[in-house]
Structure 1
Amino acid sequence: MNVATPIRPAQRLRPDEASIADLTGELTKRFGNRVVTSLAVRQQHAHTTTWLANQPPDIVVLPESAEEVAEIVRLCAARRVPVIPFGTGTSLEGHLNAPFGGVSVDLSLMKRLVAVHPEDLDCVVEPGITRKELNEQLRDTGLFFPIDPGADASLGGMVSTRASGTNAVRYGTMKDNVLALTVVTPDGSVVKTGTRARKSSAGYDLTRLFVGAEGTLGIVTEITLKLHGIPEAISAGICSFPTVKDACDAVIVTIQSGLPIARIELLDEVQVRAVNAYSRLTLPETPLLLFEFHGTDAGVKEQAERFGEICAEYRGGNFEWATRAEERSRLWQARHDVYWASLGLRPGAKGVASDVCVPISRLAECLAETKRDIEEHGMVAPIAGHVGDGNFHVMPLVMLEDPAEVRMAEDFMHRLVERAIAMEGTCTGEHGVGQGKMKYLKAEHGESALGLMRLLKRSIDPDDIMNPGKIVGA
């Protein structure tokens, strides 16, 4: 088959009222009060975090086991009713919307830490457990799970969006830390994609197929994760720079020199102002790097000294070290709260969060051009980024009742993505595609690759019931 030709799944239609009523009755008979149809709850299970319209499902169901998930999927598949997985609702590109109605499968009751294997540095979890809950339960083992996207997301959601976050520069992203999955496929079958072995050459890598699939190929019901030892020593702090370019150049040299930094985050001066007001900090309101080193006492000291020398070469100054765990936690919590902090810069405006990622050598150029674009159009759009891997986030604050502002923000977002792709980057480093960035996949991947994605989707999900209208479309 010529995959350059667009492969469309079978035409997706919204289920009729009779099918939904019949399904509601069947689900209620089986799951009782864990089936909810009130409008308020259904809207809470659709997209709420940015400017994409809220498209609620017809039904919300809360299963308690993989067997119950499989049963729900089989009931939906028999009626060709869409199924939309739900974790904690923190995604940003419309992943949770139900444009064709259907059933939202809320996995928040499935949050067991099934097994921990300290000797092998891995664990098995259900998808509803959040990263903070997991690390709290792991604390006494001396191990932790490092992927930290900011929001206290569910592990199932992090798998589905191929999340990364502040620690990715040292520990990698979700694709690097998932060993195996258990997945309910569109016909209600239960598939295991791998084992606890650290490597394998046995067959197709199904685990990586489902990591980042955003629920369009199946529902993750169990995850085997790599763990890491809690570092002996942690050194964290901040360093200010006169310009974003200076800060980026310091990051680029740091990474290229092989310095094993664990976290290195950029806040531009607009974002720092928002963070100071929201988190009651007194950070210098200039472009700022937040950084952290993990290792032994001697190793961390040496790394920090070398990093200080690099920063000085690029006009970095005002070093401040967070020597106590409480100080470090406060700094990183402030970084994680940038979405809410940014809203305070323009009360009444909606924050439209987006992210791109470029090769590290193009980061300074991409950020500088983006800053110029923002300033030329008079926008309020703070920037924060996981700049150790070339990924940054921009959040224009837009008055949605003003059509001119909305158009300006949309045009800016298009230019941002076009800029990143032109620099051999990607339209999204970690937010995912969902509904919001579907339109950029052809430019990034080409028609042949996009056609192959459609072919995979249609082969696994011929009736297009799994989170339809996302990634490759309806």
Structure 2
Amino acid sequence: MSLKDDLQKIIKGEVLNDDQTLTTYSKDASIFEIKPQAVVYPKDCEDIKKLVAFVNQDPHNLSITPRSAGTDMTGAAIGEGIILDVSKYLNKLIEITENSTVVQPGVFYRDFEAETLKKGLLLPTYPASREICTIGGMVASNAGGELELAYGPINKYLKKTKVVLTDGNEYTFEALSQAELNKKIAQKDFEGKIYSEVYNLIKYNRKIIEESRPKVSKNSTGFDLWDVWSKETFDLTKLIIGSQGTLGIITELEFKLVSPKKNQVLLVIFLPDLPELDKVIQKVLEFKPEAFECFDDQTLKLAIDHAWDLTKSFKHSNRLAAYLQFLPEKFQKTLPALTLLASFTSDSLQEAQEKAQMTKQALASFNLKAEIKNTPVAQEKYWIIRHKSFGLLMKYAKNSKASSFIDDIIVKPEYLPEFLPKLNALITPYKDRMVYTLAGHIGDGNFHIIPLMNLADPEVRKIIPELMEKVFRLVFEYKGSMSAEHNDGLIRGPYLPEMYGEKMYQLFKEIKQIFDPKNILNPHKKVDATFQYSLDRIAKS
């Protein structure tokens, strides 16, 4: 009997293994390609539990890779065994209350946000891929975005999660008091074993863990051992966030929500060069913008060259009016090295305007051009350039693929005047073999660089490990992280020992062993990733 037949006997949902399906699921948004053996669409949690039990008993070393929208940029949504796609059936928004929500992992964020906004509520940690990603994927990758500067990471908002673990049972993780933790540890079962071993690992290695904490405002590499035990509460949801399906399979999530501010005013700052960038950033941050974003001159040039195409995305202006907004830049001799977008919000429009005006006045000593945009019509061009330029780059680059490998680096903003020129010097020698732009969350020092490359050329593929090594060493020199929001997966997992040191890396490995002793959940990702396995699976087209 075939694997498909064996699985369909126990699964109420669908099981597919036709060539078209397997080819589709052999890719995500990364540079990798791995063909699975089957794709399972579970109808409910019981299907997932039965699948885990089946894989546990299978003699052929099968594995399970959880997946929803497939927008992961690290290769974490593809695998050689069984792809478990939760987006088809586990996609219900179960409940929205006065300040919280319960949701299944396969719900698309765009649909989720549409419903929460009807109640005047928001989950503020959405990524740039908000239109195409799911809630489960956001948690699994520890995703973040422009509002994280003001609202913090997703682990502040996840209250509770239900997870199927490798023993085939579903458990609920949430913050526990010391008394509740003691009861869990006393249990003589798999759950009790996990609580006991994680507690002891953190207790006896606290010094190593704290010394290894990345010196940046956000980080999605490794497992979040830093925030599990606050001495007041013990919360295993912190480990599930950012675990990329390597520790358990998410079946339900409960978040607290916030009420978004009603008014936004945008301060646009044009930097001709970088020497005083850190001082400009510090000065702007004193006024607490809700978001502080940036894009470089290459991004702006791309937008100007393809302005008519961009006008399709405008909602507050017709296409002709939108196009005319690009004319000043078209006739500008020199474009700014960086354009900074500081967003100030308040329930009072006057207060938001005052914040922007005070910030502009505080920047007067820098002799910078800065403009306040009070209305959605005036702001829209800048947000569209920030959000849509990479899509343009992909559209107009021939025979090239978006290649995510240095796509999510972060260092403290104070280091940027030194760091960015050094980063540019590392990348410049490769410009004849790739095209790239730089944009990101300047308030955090987090940048997204996603080159377009012809991966069919073996010489071009060689650039990936070579440039990664150089860029990551520079990031580590400035005590940064190789990923603020996009996580490890296949692409960055092999660099975890270099980033954290061998002792901390071994603690990460122990966490994986505690939760998944047979390594059936998403192998070859994060702490199980190796250079050779990953490099051998880079797609050639």
2:119 paired residue number: 141
User: Structure 1 counterpart of 2:500, which letter?
Assistant: H
Shift, 1:329, TM fit: 5.7
Against the structure 1 CA distance between its residues 404 and 95, is the aligned structure 2 distance closer, same or farther, given a 3 Å change threshold?
same
Match of 1:416 among 456, 460, 471: 471
1:4 paired residue number: none
1: CA distance, partners of 2:83 / 2:47 = 14
1:169 paired residue number: 149
Shift, 1:207, TM fit: 0.8
Shift, 1:57, TM fit: 1.6
Any unmatched runs of 5+ in structure 1?
1-17
Query: After superposition, where does 1:13-52 map in structure 2 within 5 Å?
Result: 21-22=2-3, 24-31=4-11, 34-52=14-32
Match of 1:270 among 287, 294, 298: 298
Shift, 1:320, TM fit: 5.2
Against the structure 1 CA distance between its residues 64 and 340, is the aligned structure 2 distance closer, same or farther, given a 3 Å change threshold?
same
1: CA distance, partners of 2:145 / 2:415 = 20
Match of 2:283 among 248, 253, 262: 253
Match of 2:397 among 343, 346, 352: 346
1:7 paired residue number: none
Shift, 1:470, TM fit: 0.5
Against the structure 1 CA distance between its residues 125 and 327, is the aligned structure 2 distance closer, same or farther, given a 3 Å change threshold?
farther
Task: Report the secondary structure of 1:337's partner residue.
Answer: helix
Matched, 1:64 2:119: no
1:306 paired residue number: 358
2: CA distance, partners of 1:43 / 1:313 = 57
Task: Report the secondary structure of 1:389's partner residue.
Answer: coil
Shift, 1:417, TM fit: 1.2
1:355 paired residue number: 408
2: CA distance, partners of 1:86 / 1:378 = 34
2:159 paired residue number: 179
More off after superposition, 341-350 vs 384-393: 341-350
1: CA distance, partners of 2:71 / 2:274 = 28
User: Structure 2 counterpart of 1:274, which letter?
Assistant: L
* TM-score, with structure 2 as normaliser: 0.76
Matched, 1:332 2:362: no
User: Structure 1 counterpart of 2:74, which letter?
Assistant: E
Matched, 1:81 2:62: yes
Shift, 1:345, TM fit: 5.5
Against the structure 1 CA distance between its residues 245 and 132, is the aligned structure 2 distance closer, same or farther, given a 3 Å change threshold?
farther
Matched, 1:458 2:513: yes
Shift, 1:71, TM fit: 2.3
Task: Report the secondary structure of 2:91's partner residue.
Answer: coil
Task: Report the secondary structure of 1:469's partner residue.
Answer: coil
2: CA distance, partners of 1:368 / 1:311 = 23
Cα contact 1:275–1:342 (8 A) shared by 2: no
2:134 paired residue number: 154
More off after superposition, 231-240 vs 160-169: 231-240
1:8 paired residue number: none
2: CA distance, partners of 1:89 / 1:327 = 34
CA deviations on 1:424-468 (whole Å, 9 max, x unpaired) are 111111110000001211111111111111111112111100001
2: CA distance, partners of 1:347 / 1:316 = 37
- Percentage of pairs with the same residue: 23
CA deviations on 1:47-73 (whole Å, 9 max, x unpaired) are 342422x10221111123223222222
2:199 paired residue number: none
Match of 1:289 among 340, 353, 365: 340
1: CA distance, partners of 2:262 / 2:39 = 44
Question: What is the number of residues matched between the two proteins?
Answer: 446
2: CA distance, partners of 1:471 / 1:335 = 29
Against the structure 1 CA distance between its residues 343 and 225, is the aligned structure 2 distance closer, same or farther, given a 3 Å change threshold?
same
More off after superposition, 140-149 vs 163-172: 140-149
Shift, 1:180, TM fit: 1.4
Task: Report the secondary structure of 2:443's partner residue.
Answer: helix
Query: After superposition, where does 1:159-238 map in structure 2 within 5 Å?
Result: 159-194=139-174, 204-238=234-268
CA RMSD between the two structures: 2.5
